[in-house]
Amino acid sequence: MRKLLLGLALVGATAGFAQILSVTPAFPTQNDSVTIVYNAAQGNGALVGTTPVYAHAGLITSTSTSPTNWQFVQGTWGQPTAKVLMTDLGGNVHRIKYHIPTFYGFPTGTQVQELAFVFRNAAGTVVGRSADGSDIYYPIYPANAGLLAAFFAPTGPQIAEIGDTISLVAASNQSATLKIYDNGVLKTTVLNATSLNYDLLVTQSGQHTVVLEATSGTSTAYDTLIYVSNPIQMVASVPQGWVDGANYLNDSTVGLVLRAPGKEFVYLLGDFNNFLPNTSHFMNKSVDGQRFWLQISVTPGQTYAYQYWIDGAIKIADPFAELILDPGADAGIPAGTWPGLHPYPTGKTTGFCALLRPGKTEYVWKNTNFAPPGKADLIIYELLVRDFIAARNYQALIDTLGYLQRLGINAIELMPNNEFENNESWGYNPSFHMALDKYYGTPEKFKEFVDSCHSKGIAVIADMVFNHAFGQSPLLAMYWDSANNRPAANNPWFNAVCPHPAYCWGYDFNHESPATEDFMDRVTTFWMQEYRIDGIRFDFTKGMVNAQTDFSVVRQNLLKRMGDTIWAINPNAHLILEHWCNNNEEKILSDYGFMLWGNQTYNFHQAAAGHSQSNFSWAYHGSRGWSQPGLVSYPESHDEERLMYEVNTYGNQSNPNHNPRSLATGLGRAEAVNLFAYLIPGPRMVWMFGELGYDVSINNPCRVCNKPILWNYYQVPERRRLYDVTAAIFNVRRAHPATFRDGTFSHSLAGNVKRMIFNSPGMDAVVLGNFA
């Protein structure tokens, strides 16, 4: 969750400065009773006209693992919990009162730092947040803190033009002399007061620092507010050769480009200006109005966090960031996985930050001429780093490559490892497509992993999701319809409403938009060139068209265009589609050079469990009328139930002398399944630990939850035998391509007894399986 820390309006402040939240008392301590007033017309405005409204409330404490780590959460999401029901005051204003310790129930000794809120309707389907979609926070002050002073309006840095008036709302926690200065010039003074409202006239351009000074006796307290008057905007073409995102012109110069059509102005914020807007970081606008750009000087070897501040209202990390900082998730990254991670600029900004690393030490590749196996020779091992190795990082994965090499696979397909929401995930909730997710390790360590794979003859295929994105994507934040809680109609990359509702997840990319095409090309080009991966598996490409259809020439052409871009970089790149369309469309794409997933888990599982309905024919591309070996079939994948779980649960027990639910018998039947699944001609795929008969259900405890990592299975004789048999299958296939790839193939793959015959000048082979 993203965070916006607000200085919030006092109850009784002037109507012209209604804020999303007001709190009484204005400077609460953790033992106070408070009145919380929420204005649904402010922030994202999602709850305008909604009643009743419920508060979803929590605390940030000294033990929170991040600035967004809520604790002592009150209210059950989606339930009309009476405890958090707010009183409707009319005019989209809602109130709740409570005693802080009683309401949250925290134990003695807890140090509360902030109150945390979002607001919702009873079902939790409509949520009121801050304007940028982040949660709402209010500071808790120490007891006996002495004199305190704060601006309560406006909130955060402001953009103002000469002649504008900025209405300031300020307060102190005790009677004091209150003064306001603008760039050191005294503007107003009030005596013996606890509040001060003042209309500040903007008379000079540039950056201004407004200071609130409160004096009581010998004590003085301060607060500051920044505003800036925009300079004259330079309109000029983006320099030739620059691309969207960061352009490292040399070790001390970076050119930054943001695509933001329809926006008026953009400030670059970062470590280089303390995340405060100034005229030297006011970005130029391209002649066509599509982009903003700026060249900055940097120090070689130094890392910088940065953001774009758009129209003084939207703050985002670079959509083309190579790395990002996440204030909510980064605390969960072990120091051993990412030593010396750049700190998040807490207190200076909110939301995600992109990272610049000018003059970084480049990885030196050991393998510069690796040629991946041909598509017909591929034996792919699909894995999720999180559930494969306990350390959950690339170094541990490198250390495990010997196990995979002995198994005989020649390609690893990683479930998405670009930046996804939170840390522990399957990865199909992408947020920053071009950024490497930090949870598994550094870019240099990922490159070492790819390089190590290449040293062992193993290709690396990255799984990527361009069908959809979720709410953390900056492409959504830039153009968001808060009233309807969906992408805005003018979003260059996303459909406001998903055009194929039968298969929609998250927010749907508009693949017919040139902006989306450019975005995909930029991302795929970067991954192919920067990390030297050998291919990409594209998640749910059926959704890459603005229609609900199983056959689409438009979709075919979009995919062909995408493929041509990648093949221009690496003609040997393996591009795999999870497509699920009519066979005639899949054949067209196979003929063009793509590979496509072919889910035959039902038939393989039925055979392993001893049921008679299985037919393996559709696992062979020739049975589908395809001329190219572009069908990636498999007995298991990340999306399907585990074969041995189904055997153990549903195995046919009609023959007491041959019970698939017994360990040895069930694993023996898995050996027979693997013989067919992995010798049928064409690219094959193994789901991790399938070679050991992994038998924990995909739904235990939930589909995407962490699963037990059972390396001890390798020591179980029956399971080790399955590994050895599977390795022998892979190795015989790889040792005799003339027979198993290029020879004549005939088969009878239906019924209980199945047969495959391979004929070639050098060797013939017959595979028989009795699955009765």
Q: Write out pLDDT tens, residues 733-746.
A: 999 999 999 999 99
Specify the amino acid at residue 371. A
Give yes or no: residues 545 and 602 share one domain: yes
**Are 555 and 536 spatial neighbours (Cβ–Cβ below 8 Å)?**
no
pLDDT band at 156; cut points 50, 70, 90: confident
- Domain stops at, among 322, 356, 390: 356
CA angle 65, 67, 69 (to 5 degrees): 50
Above 60 in pLDDT, residue 269? yes
Question: What pLDDT shows up at residue 458?
Answer: 99
Across the range 511-520, mean pLDDT stands at 98
pLDDT at residue 10 tops 50: no
For residue 390, what is the domain's CATH number? 3.20.20.80
Q: Domain check: are 60 and 150 in the same one? A: yes
Q: Look at residue 632 in the predicted model and tell me its pLDDT.
A: 99
In a domain, 756, yes or no: no
Rounded distance, CA 122 to CA 75, Å? 10
Q: Do 603 and 476 reside in the same domain of the chain?
A: yes
pLDDT band at 133 (very low <50, low <70, confident <90, very high): confident
* Position 757 in a domain: no
Do residues 438 and 520 both lie within one domain?
yes
Q: Tell me, what DSSP letter sits at residue 241?
A: T
pLDDT over 70 percentage in the chain:
98
Q: How confident is the model at residue 79 (pLDDT cuts 50, 70, 90)?
A: very high
Averaged pLDDT, 381-388: 99
Cα angle, residue 465 at apex, residues 464 and 467 outer, rounded to 5°: 150
Residue 769, in any domain of the structure: no
**Mean pLDDT, rounded, for 742-760:** 98
Among 228, 263, 280, the domain boundary falls at 228
Is 250 in the same domain as 223? no
pLDDT-derived band at 14 (thresholds 50, 70, 90) equals: very low
Say if CB 349 and CB 275 are below 8 A apart: yes
Domain match, 112 and 17 both: yes
Same domain, 342 and 272: yes
Higher pLDDT, 14 or 122: 122
Neighbours of 339 (CB within 10 A): 8
The pLDDT, as a whole number, for residue 66 is 87
> 614 and 733: one domain?
yes
CB 723 within 8 A of CB 689: no
The verdict on residue 123 lying in a domain is yes
Residue 645 exposure: Cα atoms within 13 Å on the Cβ side: 16
189/401 Cα distance (integer angstroms): 71
> Which tokens go with 590?
């196979």
**pLDDT at residue 6, rounded to an integer:** 36
Residue 233 lies in a domain: no
Above 60 in pLDDT, residue 11? no
Same structural domain, 213 and 348 = no
Which residue is associated with the tokens 């391209």?
286
The CA distance from 724 to 693, in Å, is 12
Contacts for 548-553: CB closer than 8 Å, 24+ residues apart: 548/499, 548/500, 548/501, 548/502, 548/503, 549/500, 550/581, 550/582, 550/585, 551/581, 551/582, 551/584, 551/585, 552/581, 552/585
Do you know the residue count of the chain?
Answer: 772
Q: Provide mean pLDDT across the span 462-490.
A: 95
Q: Is the pTM of this model over 0.85?
A: yes
Of 663, 739, 658, 738, nearest in space to 695 by CA? 663
Question: Is residue 2 over pLDDT 80?
Answer: no
How many structural domains are present in the chain? 3
583-628 pLDDT tens trace:
999 999 999 999 999 999 999 999 999 998 899 999 999 999 999 9
Q: Which of the four pLDDT bands, split at 50, 70 and 90, describes residue 130?
A: confident
What does the pLDDT read at residue 8? 36
Please give the Cα distance from 632 to 140 (Å, whole number). 57
Instruction: Tell which residue, 214, 219, 226, has the closest CA to residue 26.
Output: 214
Looking at the fold, whether 136 and 261 belong to one and the same domain comes out as no
Q: Give yes or no for residue 644 having a pLDDT over 80.
A: yes
Instruction: Supply the CATH number for residue 38's domain.
Output: 2.60.40.10
Place of tokens 């250390």: 399
The answer to whether the beta carbons of residues 4 and 130 sit under 8 Å apart is: yes
Residue 5 has pLDDT above 80, yes or no: no
- Give the list of residues 6+ apart from residue 421 with CB closer than 8 angstroms, or none: 429, 430, 431, 470, 472
**Confidence at residue 687, expressed as pLDDT on a 0 to 100 scale:** 99
Taking residues 676-683, what's their average pLDDT? 99
Please check whether residue 772 lies inside any domain of the structure. Answer: no
Q: Could you tell me where the DSSP H helices lie in 538-622?
A: 553-569, 583-592, 601-609
pLDDT at 1 over 50: no
Same domain, residue pair 683 and 545: yes
**Does residue 751 fall inside a structural domain?**
no
419 and 302 both lie in a single domain: no
Q: Please compute the mean of the pLDDT values over residues 56-85 and round it to a whole number.
A: 96
| Residue 251 maps to a domain | yes
What is the domain range of residue 301? 245-356
User: Which amino acid, 175?
Assistant: S
Residue 652 contacts residue 640 (beta carbons within 8 Å): no
Return the structure tokens found at 212.
């609130």
Phi, psi of 693 (to 5 degrees): 70, 40
**C-alpha dihedral, 140 to 141 to 144 to 146, nearest 10°:** -160
